[in-house]
Amino acid sequence: MTEAARAPGERRSAAVTIGVITFRRATDLREILPLLLQQAAEVTGPEYRVDVLVVDNDAEGSARPVVEALGSPRVRYVVEPTPGIAAARNRVLDEGDSADLLVFIDDDERPRPQWLRSLLETRARSGAAAVAGAVISAFDGPLDPWVQAGDFFRRRRLPTGTPIRVAATNNLLLDMAVLRRTGLRFDPAFGITGGSDTLFTRRLVAAGETMVWCDEAVVIDRVPVSRMTRQWVLRRAFRSGNSTSRVDLVLAGTAAARVGARVRAVARGVPRVVAGAARWSLGKVTRSARHEAAGLRTAARGAGMLAGTVGVAYQEYRRPAAA
């Protein structure tokens, strides 16, 4: 309906874009797109009109056949050739600039019923600039007993409406009017290290905007066998600590403030390494897999924090060099 054809006083339906970033995951994309279209159809009406945006971070456009085979006019497809998750996230922002609300979800996740509606209703009630939802892990095979003992894939759950200060983009609604006003973007320096969403959401809150939790907006995270090992858990813990320190340094701003941020990172990192090593030792002595696993993970996170203070950027998402 055009603005001229709309009756006086009639409210315009809000444009919602669901953004999905993908990189050579045709099977995952083939599974999630029909689910997103179903979610879109359930809320489309006088209040909302919804489309789905696929940003393919493969310069060769490997996801194009999947989108074309679906044949839905509600699904848009673009290629972002610049490698790295930050570039792909910024492309979602660019392509969704005309939307009122933008929702991020990962291509290896599966939304539960009422996922999109719950995000939208929480945003409507709260007026928040951002709403983050819950993520539950589902495994593609049996967990390594060490990983299971540590319970490392349990995610946070909070009462709906709880204000939060940081979130990932795996289940996140954003008010595009706020982003246009603040000019927030994802930092390319975190493109292959991870952490650009942490920095982005912390900057959003630091700018005085509100971000809240929606516990009814649930997505299921499909965890592949390659991530169900102690090696992956420890690498992720190191990267998480590394990103935390690097984000703190960026947010510090001035050179003097960065010195303070480094001191605080060391003050947090060293105790984690020491306490983690002590708990690991306790686990060895008592033959407690839980203490052993949790201690080693804590030490790895602390080591990542310390590495970040001296400029080490762990490149978790670095792609293999072309042959």
Structure confidence by residue, pLDDT tens digits, 92-132: 999 999 999 999 999 999 999 999 999 999 999 999 999 99
CATH number at residue 147: 3.90.550.10
- What is the model's pLDDT at position 86? 94
Q: How far apart are the first and last CA of the chain?
A: 52
Domain-embedded: residue 193: yes
136 and 155 housed in the same domain = yes
- Whether 318 has a pLDDT exceeding 90, the answer reads no
Predicted local confidence at residue 102, as pLDDT: 98
The helix (H) or strand (E) run that includes residue 42 is helix 26-43
The string of DSSP codes covering 94-163 is HHTTT-SEEEEEETTEEEPTTHHHHHHHHHHHH--SEEEEEEEEEESSPPPHHHHHHTTTPPP---TT-B
- Which residues in 38-112 belong to E strands, given as ranges? 48-56, 75-79, 101-106, 109-111
Is 3 inside any structural domain? no
282-292 mean pLDDT: 92
Question: Within this chain, do residues 248 and 264 fall inside the same structural domain, yes or no?
Answer: yes
Question: What total number of domains does the chain contain?
Answer: 2
Residues 147 and 264 in one domain: no
**Residue 4's pLDDT band (cuts 50, 70, 90):** very low
The whole domain housing 82 covers 14-227
Both tokens of 31, joined, read 């599974």
Contact by Cβ (8 Å): 34, 56: no
- Report whether pLDDT(312) > 90: no
State whether 223 and 152 are in the same domain. yes
Q: What is the pTM of this model?
A: 0.90
Specify if 318 maps to a domain.
no
What is residue 105's predicted lDDT score, i.e. its pLDDT?
97
Supply the pLDDT for residue 12.
Answer: 81
Q: For 172-199, what is each residue's pLDDT tens digit?
A: 999 999 999 999 999 999 988 889 999 9
Length of the chain: 323
Summarize pLDDT for 14-73 with one digit per residue, the tens: 999 999 999 999 999 999 999 999 999 999 999 999 999 999 999 999 999 999 999 999
Alpha-carbon span 199 to 185, nearest angstrom: 10
**Same domain as 137, residue 239:** no
The band of 10, judged by pLDDT with boundaries at 50, 70 and 90, is low
Check: CB of residue 28 under 8 Å from CB of residue 63: no
Cβ(129)–Cβ(210) under 8 Å?
yes
Residue 301 is assigned to a structural domain of this protein: yes
248 in the same domain as 221: no
Which pLDDT score is estimated for 126?
A: 96
Mean pLDDT of 305-318: 87
Contact 57, 191 (CB under 8 A): no
* Token pair listed for 209: 């905007």
- Residue 246 sits in the same domain as residue 208: no
Average pLDDT, the chain: 92
Among the candidates 212, 227, 242, a domain finishes at 227
214 near 115, Cβ under 8 Å? no
d(CA 134, CA 27): 23
Q: Which two tokens stand for residue 219?
A: 């997505």
